[in-house]
Amino acid sequence: MSSNDRLTRELREIQLCPGNEVCADCGAPDPSWGSCSLGVFVCLACSGIHRNISDVSKVKSLCLSRWEDHEVQFMAENGNDLMKLRYESCVPVYYYKPTHRDCQVLREQWIRAKYERKEFTEPGKSFRYEEATRDGLLMKRGRDNGQFLSRRFVLSERDGTLKYFTKFDAKEPKAVIKVDTINATFQPEKIGNPNGLQITYLKDYSTRNIFVYNDNGKDIVDWLNSIRAVQFHYLKVAFPGATDLELVPKLTRNFLKEGYMEKTGPRQTEGFKKRWFTLDKRRLMYFKDPLDAFAKGEVFLGNRDHGYAASPGLPAGTHCNGAWQHGITIETPDRSFLFTCETESDQQDWLKHFDDVMSAVMSPQEYTMEALFKHRH
Ligand SMILES: *[C@@H]1O[C@H](CO)[C@@H](O)[C@H](O)[C@H]1NC(C)=O
Ligand SMILES: *[C@@H]1O[C@H](CO)[C@@H](O)[C@H](O)[C@H]1NC(C)=O
Ligand SMILES: [Zn+2]
What is the 3-state secondary structure of the chain? Answer: CCHHHHHHHHHHHHHCCCCCCECCCCCCECCCEEECCCCEEECHHHHHHHHCCCCCCCEEECCCCCCCHHHHHHHHHCCHHHHHHHHCCCCCCCCCCCCCCCCHHHHHHHHHHHHHCCCCCCCCHHHHHHCCEEEEEEEEECCCCCCEEEEEEEEECCCCEEEEECCCCCCCCCEEEEHHHCEEEECHHHHCCCCCEEEEEEECCEEEEEEEECCCHHHHHHHHHHHHHHHHHHHHHHCCCCCHHHHHHHCCCCCCEEEEEEECCCCCCCCCEEEEEEEECCEEEEECCCCCCECCEEEECCCHHHCCEEEECCCCCCCCCCCCCEEEEEECCCCEEEEEECCHHHHHHHHHHHHHHHHCCCCHHHHHHHHHHHHHC
- Does residue 1 have a pLDDT over 60? no
Q: Which of 49-58, 144-153, 246-255, 289-298 has the lowest mean pLDDT?
A: 246-255
Of 96, 162, 178, 181, the one to substitute when testing ligand 2's pocket (max ligand atoms within 8 A of C-beta) is 181
Ligand 1 centroid distance, CA of 52 (Å): 6
Atom from ligand 1 closest to the CA of residue 48: 13
Q: Which of 7-11, 134-138, 315-319, 323-327 has the lowest mean pLDDT?
A: 315-319
* Neighbouring residues of 322: CB distance < 8 A, sequence distance ≥ 6: 262, 264, 271, 272, 273, 274, 340
Q: Which residues line ligand 1 (CB under 6 A)?
A: 48-49, 52, 108
**Shortest CA distance to 324 belongs to which of 257, 258, 260, 256?**
260
Q: Which residues line ligand 2 (CB under 6 A)?
A: 180-183, 207, 231, 250, 252, 280-281, 283
Atom from ligand 1 closest to the CA of residue 45: 13
- Pick one of 3.30.2350.10, 1.10.220.150, 1.10.3720.10, 3.40.50.2000 as the CATH number of 3-87: 1.10.220.150
**Span 157-179, average pLDDT:** 90
Question: Residue 340, Cβ neighbours under 10 Å: how many?
Answer: 22
Atom from ligand 2 closest to the CA of residue 207: 5
Q: Which amino acid is at 99?
A: T
CATH class given for the domain over 257-376: mainly beta
The domain 130-250 having CATH identifier 2.30.29.30: the answer here is yes
Q: Which residue has the higher pLDDT, 192 or 207?
A: 192
Ligand 1 centroid distance, CA of 55 (Å): 15
Q: How confident is the model at residue 126 (pLDDT cuts 50, 70, 90)?
A: low
Ligand 3 centroid distance, CA of 352 (Å): 28
**Span 207-213, average pLDDT:** 93
Would you say how long the chain is, in residues? 377
Indicate where the chain has its CATH 1.10.220.150 domain(s).
3-87
Residue nearest to atom 1 of ligand 1 (CA): 52
Tell me which ligand sits closest to the C-alpha of residue 49. Answer: 1
Indicate where the chain has its CATH 2.30.29.30 domain(s).
130-250, 257-376
Is this prediction's pTM over 0.75? Answer: yes
Cβ density class 294-322: b for 16+ within 10 Å, e for less: ebebbbbbbbbeeebebeeebeeebebeb
**Shortest CA distance to 221 belongs to which of 104, 93, 46, 89?**
104
Atom from ligand 2 closest to the CA of residue 201: 10
Sign of the Cα torsion 24, 28, 29, 35 reads negative
Residue nearest to atom 3 of ligand 1 (CA): 52
**Shortest CA distance to 75 belongs to which of 24, 43, 39, 50?**
39
Residue nearest to atom 6 of ligand 2 (CA): 181
199-204 own/partner pairs: CB under 8 Å, 24+ apart: 199/162, 200/280, 201/177, 202/178, 203/175, 203/177
**Span 238-251, average pLDDT:** 90
**Span 53-61, average pLDDT:** 96
pLDDT at 377 (0 to 100): 58
- Does residue 127 have a pLDDT over 70? no
Of 224, 228, 280, the one to substitute when testing ligand 2's pocket (max ligand atoms within 8 A of C-beta) is 280
Ligand 2 centroid distance, CA of 372 (Å): 14
Q: Are strands 283-287 and 273-280 parallel, antiparallel or unpaired?
A: antiparallel
Report the percent of the chain where pLDDT is more than 70. 97
Q: Which of 14-23, 83-92, 170-179, 203-212 has the lowest mean pLDDT?
A: 203-212
Mean pLDDT of the chain: 91
pLDDT at 369 (0 to 100): 87
**Span 355-365, average pLDDT:** 94
Cβ density class 199-235: b for 16+ within 10 Å, e for less: bbbbeeeebbbbbbbbeebeebbbbbbbbbbbbbbbb
